[in-house]
Amino acid sequence: MDGNSESRHGMWSSRWMFVLAAAGSAVGLGNLWRFPYITGENGGGAFVLIYLACIALVGIPIMMAEVLIGRQGRQSPVNSMLTLTQQHHRDSSWVLVGWMGVLAGFLILSFYAVIAGWALKYIFSLASGAFAGASGEHATKAFEEFLASPWEMIFWHSLFMVFVIFIIARGVASGLETAVRWFMPLLFVLLAVLVGYGVTSGGFAQGVDFMFAFEWSKVTDTALYEALGHAFFTLSLGMGAIMAYGAYVPSAVSITGTVVTIAVLDTLVALAAGLAIFPVVFANGLEPAQGPGLMFVTIPLAFGHLPLGALFGTLFFILVSFAAITSAISLTEPALAYLVEQHNVKRSRAAIGIGLACWLLGIGTVLSFNEWSDVHLLGEKNFFDVLDYFTQNILLPLGGLFIALFAAWALPKAVTKHQLGLKTAWQENGWLLLAGVVAPLGVLTVFLVTLIGIDNIRNWLS
């Protein structure tokens, strides 16, 4: 494999298909329910600037590293890392990075699918007019009752997994590419329609103010860690999803330009999501909540009180479901490609096997919201909290750190120069500085701060 050949799994038919697939992976629940909220809470426009710096200095270099390793190895992350370490006589422990990615993807999908199932259910709830004129109590109770019934949650979770398995089983060209070719443009259109609706809802000025007003006083050191951590999660970095997709990128495509396009798209969607969500929330005089509360209580409630709210609320949850599906399919690719390569199983079989195993593990997350909600496995954390914490705070940052270090320092310079089309010494040094120093230091800082706890660090320093 010299980076010029093709992958046995298939190839993206064009540069744009890769852009759509990677943007599909990047744009997900993180953009829709986390970014708008943390922006509002951490200083609006000031936070957006910090976030953009994190995307540019940490996110883009690590994404370039993932794509270049994938394209050079042309296999699943595990086997790409294996081939590259063997070819260039590097320590074989680098392959662990690939394995961590397989594990992270598997664990993340197990709970991501449960939450995506909630979005599927809410498409139908909104469409049926269940929230028309509803009170805050009603909306809260509806969500609590849903969370309290494991069977209902399992139903929607299973439906989501069936969609995912159906798409991934069909392969890169007819499965993944067809899905993103339809879902991504529709997602952009839906988002534009919902921003338009936000503009007319009566709360637009307040929404813009919440998202963009510069409030430097709200920017604390936590804002920086939040921005960096989120930049990382939102671009799907650190677990090999983008590396796996990178293996299917045609050789002639420019990695740098393409990665910048993907990061810009992801950021635009996150900003637009805020402009779609907060105006309707403020138009109703509601307070923006966080995470699930924002998405499954405040938003349905807000739409329930606006003209044509059932229609636009339904469109909103279709948007969330599309975003979740295109992210979910990327979570399976590292494991799926590996099974096909290593055990020569048919892709459809591997897809069903992985899907079923993930589904089974997902039951643990379902139960964490009801039967097992008080079963604490680690401190106060229940089953779902542990998975969430372990993947986002440990596996992903460590994966990203080692991927950047591998691409910058372990791969021969000739390989990176060729893959990235670096021509001048400036470009080469710029790449080494970002991917080899700035990005790893950034990720390491966030990793340690989250692990040790910001309060403990402040105590030591004072």
Residues near ligand PFF (CB under 6 A): 25-26, 28-31, 105, 108, 233-234, 236, 239, 241, 327, 330-331
| C-beta of 335 vs 350, nearer to ligand PFF | 335
Q: Give the C-alpha distances (Å, rounded to integers) separating 144 from 12, 148, 189, 289.
A: 42, 6, 31, 15
| C-beta of 324 vs 422, nearer to ligand PFF | 324
Partnered with residue 44 across adjacent β-strands are 214
SS3 assignment, position 12: coil
Residue 434 Cβ vs ligand PFF, minimum distance, rounded to whole Å: 21
Residue 178 Cβ vs ligand PFF, minimum distance, rounded to whole Å: 19
Q: Cα separation of 322 and 317, whole Å?
A: 9
Q: Which structure tokens are listed for 176?
A: 């993944």
Residue 354 Cβ vs ligand PFF, minimum distance, rounded to whole Å: 14
| C-beta of 327 vs 419, nearer to ligand PFF | 327
Residue 91 Cβ vs ligand PFF, minimum distance, rounded to whole Å: 25
Q: Cα separation of 57 and 192, whole Å?
A: 29
The 10 Å CB-count burial string (b at 16+, else e) for 167-180 is bbbbbbeebbbebb
Please name the amino acid found at residue 31: N
| C-beta of 282 vs 316, nearer to ligand PFF | 316
| C-beta of 270 vs 310, nearer to ligand PFF | 270
Q: In sequence order, what are the residues at sequence separation of 6 or more whose Cβ sits closer than 8 angstroms to the Cβ of residue 292?
A: 33, 115, 118, 143
Q: Which structure tokens are listed for 105?
A: 């993807």
| C-beta of 320 vs 420, nearer to ligand PFF | 320
- What are the phi and psi torsion angles at 411 (to 5°)? -75, 140
Residue 331 Cβ vs ligand PFF, minimum distance, rounded to whole Å: 5
Provide the CA 206 distance to its chain's centre, in angstroms: 28
Residue 334 Cβ vs ligand PFF, minimum distance, rounded to whole Å: 8
Contact (Cβ atoms closer than 8 angstroms) between residue 250 and residue 87:
no
Q: What does the longest C-alpha to C-alpha distance in the chain come to? A: 66
| C-beta of 102 vs 208, nearer to ligand PFF | 102
| C-beta of 31 vs 416, nearer to ligand PFF | 31
- H or E segment and range at residue 323: helix 309-343
Residue 34 Cβ vs ligand PFF, minimum distance, rounded to whole Å: 7
| C-beta of 42 vs 236, nearer to ligand PFF | 236
Contact (Cβ atoms closer than 8 angstroms) between residue 113 and residue 158:
no
Which residue in 165, 176, 166, 259 sits closest to 10, CA to CA?
176
Residue 455 Cβ vs ligand PFF, minimum distance, rounded to whole Å: 27
Q: Give the C-alpha distances (Å, rounded to integers) separating 419 from 11, 77, 250, 435.
A: 17, 17, 11, 14
Angle at 73 between CA 345 and CA 58, to 5 degrees: 115
| C-beta of 284 vs 327, nearer to ligand PFF | 327
DSSP 6: -
Residue 248 Cβ vs ligand PFF, minimum distance, rounded to whole Å: 15
Contact (Cβ atoms closer than 8 angstroms) between residue 439 and residue 404:
yes
Residue 236 Cβ vs ligand PFF, minimum distance, rounded to whole Å: 4
